[in-house]
Amino acid sequence: MQKFILSRKNHITLVSAILIAIGFVSKLGFKNEAIAVWALVTASVLGVAPIAIQAYQALKVKVVSIDVLVTIAVAGAFFIKNFEESAIVTFLFLFGAFLEQRTLNKTRSAIKELTEMAPESALKQMENGEFEEVDVDEVDVGDILLVKTGAKIPVDGTVLSGEGSINEASITGESLPVSKEKGSNVYAGTILDNGTIQIVADRVGEDTTFGKIIELVEEAQDSKSKAERFIDRFSKYYTPAVLVLGIIVWLFSRNLELAITILVLGCPGALVIGVPVSNVAGIGNGARHGVLLKGSEVIGDFSRLDTMVFDKTGTLTVGNPSVAEKEYYGDNIDEALGYLASVERESDHPLAKAVLEEIGETSFSPVKNTEVVKGGGITANVNGHRIAVGNAALMKREGIQLSEKAKTDMYRFEKNGNSLVMTSVDGELKILMGVRDRIRPGVKEDLLRLKRLGVKNLVMLSGDNQGTVDVVSRELGLTEAHGNMLPEDKSAYIKKLIDERGQIVAFVGDGVNDSPSIALADIGIAMGSGTDVAIETSDVVLMNSDFSRLPVALGLAKAIVRNMKQNIFIAIGVVLFLLASVFFSEWMNMSIGMLVHESSILVVILNGMRLLRYKLR
């Protein structure tokens, strides 16, 4: 019976509204007291039924809930035959609960949207080589799947054949399609906009990046911050205190109507709901835009941070060295470039790759008598010419005479943060290239946004040489920059900032090499495209490694905390106003009090929902 009544709460609310309307029309329009009393009594009994059941369930677990206060208040109003008050209070309470549920469901829209993106079926290659549609739960690691235009990628996998463009908005928040070809990684829940591909399943079910995102966002939205835990404890004692206050007022004043009015007005509904709705809406907003905030505790610390520490390579810089500057000396440069490409093709060094990309199409020659000079470079014979490729130390070892122009160019290249790649042919310097990792586009502007959001210290830690680190630091306007640092050095520095300087520190890295520092910092932020380590270790994940999302994430965290404080202020302010009105005004009664009370709950919910539309200005 209890389940039946609770499942029909919305129907009871509608019937109560109709009966109340009948009651007032009969009384005021037709002066028929009998029908009015019958309609209002019936509305009161119907309306209080689900509230009383919820009150009983709360008392069974020794909790004095808001439902208990309202049930006692309605019973008291019924006892003094104030049927108008009892009917209106029950209707407003039920109607308020209905509106709360509707609006709260909207705050969880991000989770709903994500779960709706989850694939349900896949075209799996069977033993006979044909592809058949199966439930996604029937796909195992290693299975070969066919994905056609417009279909969802069912698992995390690798493209075996075919090519196409994939919308990865469910993973990265970016709607721009990403081209995929053989060897490319694809993620469950993303959509193949055009093309046809075959993939091999690498991760399935809950192990996919998409599955982990949903799990993390759900956990984050359900987690409780210090403020929420305090409010839970507060309401646990506050609600019985309101009941005791009502009893005391009745004992001293013998005014039952005043006592039950206090019970209604003292309900802490807006206070209990205000903070969770801010968290849920804010975390949902982040999830839709490729920013995972892993819980309300994280949000609180993140909003207060004063120091942000960055790894250089792959975070502030692109992570792929390229030739930034070059100078040629003498004649036959095309021939020298061919010799350089022939030698570099023998090497797997990152600088060699950058040089080859810069040279592009050229003619290669056989390379003989190759010698790798430790800390210097490489020498070899190409087409009867002695070729040396490396740094200044190798040129000195080879006895290469450098012109004043070459020395000036070398100094300029190094000052600009380049690693030098010098090429000599038969003892004469022919080519000078400066290779460096370029700064991510827009990073300087994003760092300025972080400063405007209150981050006082911007620090860079890198394993690169101090000269290169200083160049990047000057260009970006960082507070501090330290080079020649191993992962353990970075961790020690983070610990020093937290323990000795008392700073609230966020560390931003790629989520793999820097996982110790990410774990040690107050807030670990991973620039990882859904990698396992990034998701597991960090507190905040920027799913598509887009640095511009960092100020958005910080701005969102601050907005969530501001919204929580606003909701707490509104909730406490309304309760104080209502209680003061009872004692110091003539116009306050149960019905008006309940209307204001339910309105305050809707106000804090709607205020929290503003976070669903949050964008960094």
Q: List, by residue number, the catalytic residues.
A: 311
* DSSP conformational letter for 584: H
Do the beta carbons of residue 605 and residue 102 sit within 8 Å?
Answer: no
Write out 500-524 in H/E/C secondary structure.
Answer: CCCCCEEEEECCCCCHHHHHHCCEE
List, in sequence order, every residue forming a beta bridge with 163; answer none if it has no partner.
196
Give the Cα separation of 194 and 190 in Å (integer). 12
Q: Does residue 111 sit in helix, strand or coil?
A: helix
Euclidean distance between CA atoms 18 and 87, whole angstroms: 11
209: left (phi over 0), alpha (psi -120 to 50) or beta: alpha
> Helix or strand or coil: residue 328?
strand
SS3 190: coil
Q: How far is CA 101 from CA 56, 115, 272, 564, in A?
A: 21, 19, 14, 19
SS3 355: helix
Cβ atoms 514, 311 nearer than 8 A: yes
**In angstroms, rounded to a whole number, what is the distance separating the alpha carbons of residues 599 and 610?**
17
Spatial neighbors of 385 by CB under 8 A, at least 6 apart, are 339, 425, 426
Report the distance separating Cα 56 and Cα 542, nearest Å: 46
**φ and ψ at residue 416, rounded to 5 degrees:** -85, 5
Q: How far apart are alpha carbons 59 and 51 in whole angstroms?
A: 12
Give the closest residue to 16 by CA, choosing from 74, 58, 55.
Answer: 74
